Structure 1
Amino acid sequence: MSTDFQSARVALGARLRELRAEAGENGKDFAARLGWQRSKVSRLENGKQTATADDLTAWAAAAGVPEQAADLASRLRGLESQQRSWRRQLTAGNRPVQDRYVVEYQQTATMRGYEATVIPGLFQTPDYARHLFAKNAVVMQSPRDTEAAVAARMRRQEVLYEAGKLFRVLLWEGALHALVCPREVMAGQLDRLVGLIGMSTVELGIVPLGAPLELTPKHGFWIFDEERVIVETINTELSFDSPDDLALYGRVWDALNAAAGYGAQAHRLIARARHLIAPA
């Protein structure tokens, strides 16, 4: 269990204890009111057990504050969002994280993704990925297992060739020009993107610089089977699965998609970046 998850569970337990105390009940009497074992009340209050939504509704009612049920439910959703610190995930290097993604992508049939600053791992060349992993290890001060991480990322890409998969990916045009690697490596990466256009499992759209937009380009995110959203920040990976969050990110993706170019237009945008970034 991650430290982030446990910290959130302890915080929820502290709030439950506070509501019980405000009701003037000791643990034994409160458990009796709920029809629970005393040990369950103790485990929930001390962050040793994860409450269910029904547990929280019953707790609020027993404490005489049923209106607090919504707040408790929100705290539970936040706990279930699985906020995971990158520094903790990268303690053993980049490869374990990439291995986890291999499994997650294998279990996903349809994905909608958007990236504003980087070529997605699913489309990266080994050389491009190698430079990203090396630089990330320096910034995050994590073990430098670059070659093992690159190999795992390439294994992830095997899903692109599996029948029945569909990856609908949007890129902000600026990502095509971001020199996070030598020019010759970026040129090869852009050639790789051209080769993806027309694949039966890939729909690649480019949101052009200067295109009229319904919203700002925002941050990158990925929607797995319309069931879960993954958002990566500099220090944290966030996972959301509530209907409201899924609907929100779906609307954002749709708005960006409305401004995106596909097919020949996407090819021209990549070719323009390839020309500008070509090695001297």
Structure 2
Amino acid sequence: MSTDFQYAREALGRRLRELRGTTTQRALAAELGWPQAKVSKLETGRQTATPDDLTAWATGAGHPEAAEELHAHVQGLETRTRSWRRQLSAGHRPVQDALTVEYERSAELRAWQGAMVVGMLQTPDYARHIFTGFAALYQSPRDIEAAVRARTRRQDLLYRSGRTFDIIMWEAALHARVCPPDVLSAQLDRLVGAIGLDTVRLGIVPLGAQVAIPPGPGFWLYDDRLAIVEDWHAELWIDDPESTGVYRRVWDSLAESAVYGTGAHRLIARARAQLNLSWASSRIVPDSRRIFANHSAL
């Protein structure tokens, strides 16, 4: 669970405790028909309150006028932390459309990604494998082709003036076998082409580079007004200046360790060479096994 999300639950719990006042947890639980443990968990931020819970609490504590305030608090918490389960209930396409709105609103976009190629630079085939993997993970509707088309259309922004895309990736992302070798090969070609775009500045942090802080989860910064951070359970939409400032400092720190231009080309070429070597080896091994089997049969 994200630190921001947990802090928000704990802040709500403190407010619930204030509203309870001198009434004991046991007495409030009896009034609401709840186990006392539920009252305790809500007050300590160990359980997320539903809108019905908050209405009941405000009424049971004798402060029905506070229900609207409590609902606003939870709505803000849910807006900041967008669980994948909820977001993907209608498939991946709506998520892509929501992101496109933020891209179109922004002039300066910065990204960090350590595990895979960023979506704005993905080929359709590469994106198809990414969406397929996540659809299986989250057991979401498999609108793969619609999601691929939405992501590909968003890439048109790369060719329009008025925006800059400052993208940093870890070298590991070039080697991650999240797709077949031929798809990854074409994806590496795509990265080479992206380096030549005047709207894109692509940096790659070498695996052996000295870094001031450990590379963490992938995130995008939109004009420093919004950070969208990817976690396994949720996407975090963070818009308070203090927190977005942290992500900007993280991005600046990683950018200092990145190589650009010729250096980035060299790392992509190294990834391609390793891919070709392993691909060739995988095609030779079955033939060797077949020959060995044939000799064994003699």
Same fold (TM over 0.5): yes
**Aligned positions of 1:115-134 closer than 5 A:** 115-134=113-132
Q: Which secondary structure does the structure 2 equivalent of 1:97 belong to?
A: helix
| Matches of 2:208 and 2:76, distance apart in 1 | 36
| Matches of 2:219 and 2:17, distance apart in 1 | 36
Aligned length: 235
| Matches of 2:182 and 2:14, distance apart in 1 | 55
**Which of 145, 170, 180 is equivalent to 1:172?**
170
- CA drift of 1:18 comes to 2.3
Q: Would you say the 8 A contact 1:77–1:242 is kept in 2?
A: no
What is the aligned-residue RMSD (CA, Å)? Answer: 2.5
1:43 maps onto 2:41 in alignment: no
TM-score by length of 1: 0.77
| Matches of 1:179 and 1:122, distance apart in 2 | 19
**Which of 181, 199, 202 is equivalent to 1:201?**
199
| Matches of 2:268 and 2:153, distance apart in 1 | 25
Q: Which secondary structure does the structure 2 equivalent of 1:262 belong to?
A: coil
- CA drift of 1:42 comes to 3.5
Q: Which secondary structure does the structure 2 equivalent of 1:277 belong to?
A: helix
Query: Kindly, what percent of the aligned residue pairs are identical?
Result: 48
Letter matched to residue 249 of structure 2: R
Distance 1:89 1:77, change over 3 A: closer
**Which of 266, 270, 273 is equivalent to 1:272?**
270
Q: Which secondary structure does the structure 2 equivalent of 1:205 belong to?
A: strand
1:22 maps onto 2:47 in alignment: no
Distance 1:21 1:137, change over 3 A: closer
CA deviations 1:165-205 (Å, max 9, x no partner) are 00100000000000100000000000000001121110000
Ranked by relative contact order (alpha carbons within 8 Å, sequence separation 6 or more), the top structure is 1
Equivalent residue number for residue 161 of structure 1: 159
Letter matched to residue 41 of structure 1: A
Equivalent residue number for residue 86 of structure 1: 84
| Matches of 1:8 and 1:216, distance apart in 2 | 23
- CA drift of 1:102 comes to 1.7
Stretches of structure 2 lacking an aligned partner (at least 5 in a row): 1-5, 24-62, 281-298
| Matches of 1:12 and 1:120, distance apart in 2 | 34
Q: Which structure 1 residue ranges, 4+ long, deviate > 2 Å from structure 2? A: 7-18, 20-24, 38-44, 76-81
| Matches of 1:204 and 1:231, distance apart in 2 | 19
CA deviations 1:35-86 (Å, max 9, x no partner) are xxx7642422xx33x26xxxxxxxxxxxxxxxxxxxxxxxx89727610110
Distance 1:212 1:13, change over 3 A: closer
Distance 1:42 1:15, change over 3 A: same
| Matches of 2:7 and 2:243, distance apart in 1 | 19
Letter matched to residue 257 of structure 2: A
- CA drift of 1:17 comes to 3.9
Q: Which secondary structure does the structure 1 equivalent of 2:80 belong to?
A: coil
CA deviations 1:103-131 (Å, max 9, x no partner) are 22111111111000010010000000011
**Aligned positions of 1:189-228 closer than 5 A:** 189-228=187-226
Stretches of structure 1 lacking an aligned partner (at least 5 in a row): 1-6, 25-37, 52-75
**Which of 240, 244, 250 is equivalent to 1:252?**
250
**Which of 232, 235, 246 is equivalent to 2:233?**
235
Letter matched to residue 229 of structure 1: A
The answer to which of 180-189 and 252-261 deviates more is: 252-261
- CA drift of 1:162 comes to 1.2
Letter matched to residue 16 of structure 1: R
**Structure whose CA Rg is larger:** 2
| Matches of 1:248 and 1:10, distance apart in 2 | 21
Equivalent residue number for residue 180 of structure 2: 182
Letter matched to residue 180 of structure 1: V
